[in-house]
């Protein structure tokens, strides 16, 4: 099962109390205070070990009491201290002075931090596949990469994101994400709603697929863009390519000109994930757009980006 959210209650360890102790040893008169920070003989108590919780790159850490994002763990190896342990108390040896040689006081330890956080994964991908249900997103990903998402002839076969590494050629590659189908009202929770839109956030560019068999492809495009804008207007500012999918089933050829206004998008032509028609030209366009937006992230992860990616 794909898990992209978790709420965690954290309680860090408590610091130990300082010790009140005096040295008692034969032939050592007036040994003086030797209470350490947690033990006698000026010794400290054992420090607790850190508990490390590994998470995939792209994880947000949200404080549930305030709703504020406190960390965004994008880079591999990034860390965040979510709850600090309590400070240990000082023993009476720490309080000895020339004028106060036998102190009988020590400090208590302090409690560790306690808080509840929420971990949210937002997948890191170069290209995000956007489209209504059953427009051929999964078929296209399986054609272009080794990913094998579920494919069937009914809506919402994709219930969780899938990642695949797409090879343009021997030296060029990028990460593509197949995301659950988007329907009208998704921003308000309809269909898979936020389960989809949250993962669009980090993609560099959007590949918008419109069904070649749709009776009104222009309306389909308007629905998709409207849902992205309703979730957050920044999503509509992402560079995007619009293409007609499932061209192998279309009666007429629409590859030359788009049958709708592109609204500042690049035209990707008519493609088919089944036959591969138009995909070579589409990959070239994607690569050009990725270079314009800063390049691909595929090489950042050294072959191990996010659990579940398939090359």
* Angstrom distance (rounded) from CA 103 to CA 95: 6
Interhelix angle 137-144/279-292, nearest 10 degrees: 90
One domain for residues 142 and 100? no
At 178, is the pLDDT very low, low, confident or very high (cuts 50, 70, 90)? Answer: confident
Q: What is the pLDDT of residues 70-83, one digit of tens each?
A: 988 888 888 999 99
One domain for residues 134 and 233? yes
Q: Tell which residue, 92, 93, 87, has the closest CA to residue 105.
A: 92
One domain for residues 89 and 164? no
Q: What is the CATH number of the domain that holds 257?
A: 3.40.50.300
Whether the CA torsion 184, 188, 192, 198 is positive or negative: it is: positive
Flag whether 121 is in a domain.
no
One domain for residues 181 and 261? yes
Q: Domain of residue 22: give its range.
A: 1-57+76-115
Neighbour count for residue 23 (Cβ, 10 Å): 16
Flag whether 310 is in a domain.
no
| CB-based contacts of 127, cutoff 8 Å, min separation 6 | 166, 174, 175, 176, 177, 203, 204, 205, 206, 207, 286, 290
* Position 263 pLDDT exceeds 90: no
Q: Tell which residue, 119, 200, 193, 114, has the closest CA to residue 159.
A: 193
One domain for residues 260 and 205? yes
Helices (H) and strands (E) in the chain, counts: 4, 10
Residue with tokens 């342990």: 85
Q: Tell me the mean pLDDT in the region 180-189.
A: 65
Flag whether 122 is in a domain.
no
One domain for residues 230 and 189? yes
Q: How many domains is the chain built from?
A: 2
User: What pLDDT score was predicted for residue 307?
Assistant: 35
One domain for residues 146 and 93? no
At 153, is the pLDDT very low, low, confident or very high (cuts 50, 70, 90)? Answer: low
One domain for residues 47 and 138? no
Flag whether 70 is in a domain.
no
Flag whether 311 is in a domain.
no
Q: What is the CATH number of the domain that holds 103?
A: 2.70.210.12
One domain for residues 147 and 243? yes
């Amino acid at each position: 099962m794909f898990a992209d959210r978790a709420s965690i209650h954290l309680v860090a360890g408590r610091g130990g109390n300082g010790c009140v102790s005096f040295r008692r040893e034969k032939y050592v008169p007036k040994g003086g205070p030797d209470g350490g920070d947690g033990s006698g003989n000026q010794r400290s108590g054992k420090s607790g070990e850190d508990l490390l919780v590994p998470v995939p790159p792209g994880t947000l850490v949200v404080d549930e009491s305030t709703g504020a994002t406190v960390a965004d763990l994008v880079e591999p190896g990034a860390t965040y201290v979510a709850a600090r342990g309590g400070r240990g108390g000082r023993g009476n040896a720490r309080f000895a002075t020339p004028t106060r040689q036998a102190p009988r006081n020590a400090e208590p330890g302090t409690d560790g931090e306690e808080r509840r956080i929420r971990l949210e994964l937002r997948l890191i991908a170069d290209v995000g596949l956007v489209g209504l249900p059953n427009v051929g997103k999964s078929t296209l990903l399986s054609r272009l990469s080794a990913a094998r998402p579920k494919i069937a002839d009914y809506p919402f076969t994709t219930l969780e994101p899938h990642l695949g590494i797409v090879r343009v050629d021997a030296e060029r590659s990028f990460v593509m994400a197949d995301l659950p189908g988007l329907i009208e009202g998704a921003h308000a929770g309809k269909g898979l709603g936020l389960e989809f839109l949250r993962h669009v956030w980090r993609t560099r560019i959007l590949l918008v697929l419109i069904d070649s068999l749709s009776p009104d492809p222009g309306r389909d495009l308007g629905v998709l863009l409207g849902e992205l804008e309703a979730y957050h207007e920044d999503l509509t500012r992402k560079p995007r390519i619009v293409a007609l999918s499932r061209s192998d089933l279309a009666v007429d050829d629409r590859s030359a000109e788009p049958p709708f206004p592109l609204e500042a998008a690049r035209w990707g032509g008519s493609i088919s994930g089944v036959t591969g028609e138009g995909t070579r030209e589409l990959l070239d366009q994607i690569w050009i757009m990725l270079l314009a937006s800063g390049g691909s992230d595929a090489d950042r992860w050294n072959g191990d980006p996010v659990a579940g990616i398939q090359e």
